[in-house]
Amino acid sequence: MGKVIKTVLNRVEGEIQLKLHWEKGKVKDAFIIAPNFRGFEFILEGKPVLDALVINPRICGICGHAHLIATTKAIENIYENTGQKIDVPQNAKLIRDITIGAEIIQNHIRWFYMFVMPDFIKLEKGRKLKAFEPVKGIKWQQAVDYSSKIVKVIAVFGGQWPHTSYAVPGGVVCDPTTFEIVEATATVDSLIKFTEENIFGMNLDTYISITSEDEFLDRAKGSDLKEFLFLCKKHKLDREGKSYHRFLTVCEMEHVFEKGITKKKKKDFHVGKVRRD
Amino acid sequence: MKNLLWIQGLSCNGNTQSLLNAENPYFYELFQKVELLYHPSFSYRENLQTVLKRIDSDKLKVNFLVVEGAVTSDMKFHRTGNYTIAQILQKLKDKVDYIIAAGNCASFGNIPATLSCNPDVTGLQFRFTQKGGLFPSDFKTKSGYPIINIPGCPMHPAWFTQTIIALLEGRKIVLDSFNRPKELFMYLSHDGCIRNEYFEWKVEGEEFGHKEGCLFYNLGCRGPMTHAPCNKILWNGISSKTRAGMPCIGCTEFDFPLRRNYFETKKNIGIPEEVPLGVTKRAYLTITGVAKTFKNERLNKKLEETD
């Protein structure tokens, strides 16, 4: 047997170990080991069903709200499967979508600036990526500011982030005033501006109208996404860890996936035929 | 400059995420006042094993050791490199000035300690109501403090930053009987709740989704029994669970989450099993009867329809 190398990968909720078996300069086998076990699936056993609304978000500190919404929907399904109709009012559905959306925005910012970009500093010895330096870098600090700002939207409707249980089967517990809704929309506007100036490097409408990577690279000014794409290509990350082309996608991303439905037999994909219900 | 080392046991990372929301000081401002030696989520150059070796050989002196997550000495449930969190803590406990338990898991065990197949999961110096966790109840760090517990699931970022800064400034911190900073946890989460008038006049919420009504009598709210300044130091700077309409679940307490049915108040013949702290059941019943007799008209309307 060849060489075995274990690497520790730290990030969220406990470390992950990556165990690689090397043979003749190639990875023969790979194992991802998560040595920490909390056992939520066993902890839930025998508990009253609504208690899952309190326990499940605590599976994850960065995306606990997704666990809450998923749990709420799962419990609603349980009621429905026993023949009890659950009517979630339209405004509650919208509020759930808004708060889960706010958490996703927070996730994107924290992952990109805190968990992805700092790793490039190690690869980029010669180049200055000082702005992305954890704790000290100005871009890292801005990511703290704006990722913390967007979760205020969850606090408006759910009281706090992380770990609220404000969504319950049948709806949400809040009844926001007009002024609380305005507080949330103002927060979202401020995030759009941050994203335009720092991530897209152009305004949102322009970004949505972009049709190719070249056009994006050409038009983006001061864009961290552009910087990221540059670094990925420079270090050939767009060629590493390639998957099996089992994606449904409306765009091309060089080397990684192609436009179309690519499971087994490639088919054409027409974005114009996509409907949103 | 004093320094801080952050390690994790069985954790969801929620206290780290909560701390990132800190506003005064911001997360990165706190770490201009105290050097961050290592944090599993943010360190990309430093490696915990190297930091531990330097501490072990007395080349590095650590002031604040922060622990996030419950601890166990069972290898099958937790490992950092080749060590369990319990082994790491045993190595470090006499070498650091302060040990801070960040969040309810490190303080009291919390959700990970309810896993019945591993009874070894515990908080640092408590296991739920029981004194003594990984460390005995008389354990003290070099500074003379026991483990300083900043509970909450998660903890509020200001509770943590203010504790660290107070200690950095050489101020004395008084702890309560569960080793929580007294001046933070002498408040109940009920204090400052915008539904307090409904509590006073016993106008009870019957269902969720309303701005009106107190959540204590029917909907499981633990506000009057939970030590936490959640309605004094607001969450994300703007709100709290009870303000939004969600009952307090008592997540800063040593017995969280041993209770069941968070959204329902346990009652015997119409009387809540637990009454607000400091009040006898008889006093609670008397005041309730009196308050209900004087029907407060304003509180029996929708807020939008009041004069």
Residue B75 lies in a domain: yes
- Measure in Å the smallest separation between the Cα of A202 and chain B Cα atoms: 27
Q: Do the chains contact at B246 and A118, CB–CB below 8 Å?
A: no
- Can you tell me which residue has the tokens 């309730």? B288
The domain A46-240 belongs to what CATH superfamily?
A: Cytochrome-c3 Hydrogenase, chain B (1.10.645.10)
What does the DSSP 8-state code read for residue A168?
A: E
Which residues in B lie closer than 8 A to residue A183 (C-beta atoms)? 238
Distance, in Å, from the CA atom of A47 to the CA atom of B117, rounded to the nearest integer, reads 16
CB contact under 8 A, A160 and B235: yes
For the question of whether the overall pTM of this predicted structure is more than 0.90, the answer is yes
Spatial distance between the Cα atoms of A129 and A235, rounded to a whole number of angstroms: 15
Q: Of chain A residues 210-269, which have a CB less than 8 A from chain B?
A: none
Do B158 and B113 fall within a single domain? yes
Looking at B136, B152, B183, the residue that finishes a domain is B183
Residue B138 and residue B225 in one domain = no
Counting Cα atoms < 13 Å in the Cβ hemisphere of B166 gives 14
**B138 and B220 part of one domain:** no
CATH of residue B40: 3.40.50.700
Would you give the distance in Å from CA B208 to the centre of its chain? Answer: 25
Is residue B209 assigned to a domain? yes
**What's the N-to-C CA distance of chain B in angstroms?**
58
Asked if A114 and B42 come within 8 Å (Cβ–Cβ), the reply is yes
pLDDT at B154: 98
Give the pLDDT band (50/70/90) at residue B288: very high
- Is the pLDDT higher at A4 or at B105? B105
Clarify whether residues B10 and B136 are in a common domain. yes
Where residue A254 falls among pLDDT bands split at 50, 70, 90?
A: low
- B51 lies in some domain: yes
B76-107 pLDDT tens trace: 999 887 889 999 999 999 999 999 999 999 99
CATH code for position B250: 4.10.480.10
Our count of domains for chain B comes to: 2
Same domain, B161 and B193: no
Closest-CA residue of B relative to A147 is: B21
Is B175:B148 a contact under the CB 8 Å cutoff? Answer: yes
Picking from B14, B45, B211, the nearest residue to A163 by CB comes out as B14
Model confidence band, residue A265 (pLDDT cutoffs 50, 70, 90): low
Beta strand pairing call for B96-102 and B62-68: parallel
Residues of B in contact with A90 (CB under 8 A): none
**Does residue B306 lie within any of the structural domains?**
no
Chain B neighbours among A 149-178 (CB < 8 Å)?
151-152, 154-166, 168, 171-175, 177
CB contact under 8 Å between B244 and A155, yes or no, is yes
User: Dihedral through CA A46, CA B10, CA B91, CA B148, nearest 10?
Assistant: -90
pLDDT band at B202 (very low <50, low <70, confident <90, very high): very high
Verify that B226 and B261 share a domain, yes or no: yes
* Cα–Cα distance, B164 to B166 (Å, whole number): 6
Please indicate if any CB of chain A lies within 8 Å of the CB of B20: yes
Which of B156, B183, B210 is at the close of a domain? B183
* B1 lies within 8 A of chain A by CB: no
Q: Is 0.95 exceeded by the ipTM? A: yes
- Do residues B79 and B200 both lie within one domain? no
Does a structural domain hold residue B49?
Answer: yes
Cβ-contact B272, B265 below 8 angstroms: yes
Residue A177 structure tokens:
């005033």
pLDDT for A8: 73
B307 assigned to some structural domain: no
Position with higher pLDDT, A1 vs A20? A20
Residue B265's domain comprises 187-301
Residue B284 CA, chain-centre distance (Å), reads 27
CB nearest to A159's CB, from B11, B111, B246 = B246
| B138 and B172 belong to one structural domain | yes
What residue segments make up the domains of chain A, in order of their start?
A: 1-37, 46-240, 244-277
Q: Are residues B171 and B215 in the same domain?
A: no
Of the residues B183, B207, B242, the one at which a domain ends = B183
Nearest to B44 among A12, A119, A162 (CB): A119
- A183 vs B: CB within 8 A: yes
